[in-house]
Structure 1
Amino acid sequence: MFNALIEDAGLDSLMVPVTCRPENFDIFWAGLSAMENLKGMIISVPFKQRVSEKCATAHSRAARAGAANTVVRRADGQWHADNFDGVGFMDGLAAAGRAVHRDRLGRSILPAHLREHYAPSPRRGRSISGHWRELRARPRSLRPG
C-alpha cells in the first residue's frame, strides 16, 4: 500500500520491512542512523517509545504520547519524531461516517492531543500525517470537525 502511494506521488523512495529483537535495539538504531540515504521510518510496537527517546526533536503529538510511529531525518541529520496514531483513528471514524466532536472527547481513551489536532486552524503544520493526507487527497466532506 505505501509503496504504491510513494510511486504514485513520484517520490524516489521505497518502504522495506525490517525488524530486530528488542534486546538488539540500540545496535539496530545505530545501524539505521548510520545509513546516509535513510530519510525516514514508520515505527511499530514494541519500539515506539524507544525510538521517540532517540529523536532530537518531536512534534507535540509524539512528545505528549511519549511514543513515535514515524521519524524523519532533518537536514542536519537529526531525527524528528511524530505520532499520528490518534489522527489516523479519528480519520478512520470520520471515513466510516462516525462523527466525534471535540467537546465530547472529554476524559475518554483519546488523549488531549486529538482535541488540539481537530481544533480550527488556518493552516496545519506539514507533518508526516499531513503529507499522507495530501497524497490521499481526501474530499473535505470526510474530514472531521
Structure 2
Amino acid sequence: MDEYREILLKKASSSLPNWPKGPNDFYVAILSHEKHVRSCEHKDLLWLKVRGKHTVAQVRAFHNNRVGRKVLLCDGRDVVSDETQIRHLNYQRGEVVVFWTKLDDGRPPLAGLHTAAVNSRSRIDMGAHSVGPSSPAPVSPLPVHQSRANQFK
C-alpha cells in the first residue's frame, strides 16, 4: 500500500462519521490541497457519503463546487482517473476511501491511477477534461446530516 494512502486511511479511520450508511455506500474523506498528508489532522478532512457506483469525476465535480476551486483527487501518489468508480478504491475493505487533492493546473495527468487497462492515449486524455456525451451525469446531493457532510444519491 502506498505510504500516503496508509497515512490518510489511518487518520480517517480513527473517527468515522456517524451517518446512516447503506451496504453500497462509502465514507469518502478528502484532504485539502492546502494541507500535507503527513501533517494533517482528522479535522482537516472533508467527509462525504458516496454510493460505490459513482465515479471519481462525480465526486471531484461536487467537491470543486463545494470548495470553489478546481482540484484533482489523488490516491497514494497518483491522480485518480475520472472514470474510476468509488467501490474500486476500497482497498482495506473498510468502506472508507481517502483522497488528497492538488490544484488542477489544466494539464491532463500523464497516466492516472487505475488506467492500466486503458491502452490508448486518447482515452487517457479524456480524464479530467472530457465534455459532451461521455461526461458523467450530474449528482444530486441528499440532505446534509452535519455541516461538513454531504451525500450522493
Q: Greater RCO between the two (CA within 8 Å, min separation 6)?
A: 2
Name the TM tier (shorter chain): under 0.3
Structure with greater strand share of residues? 2
Please report the TM-score for the alignment, with normalisation by the length of structure 1.
Answer: 0.26
Please report the TM-score for the alignment, with normalisation by the length of structure 2.
Answer: 0.25
Structure with bigger gyration radius: 1
Structure with greater helix share of residues? 1
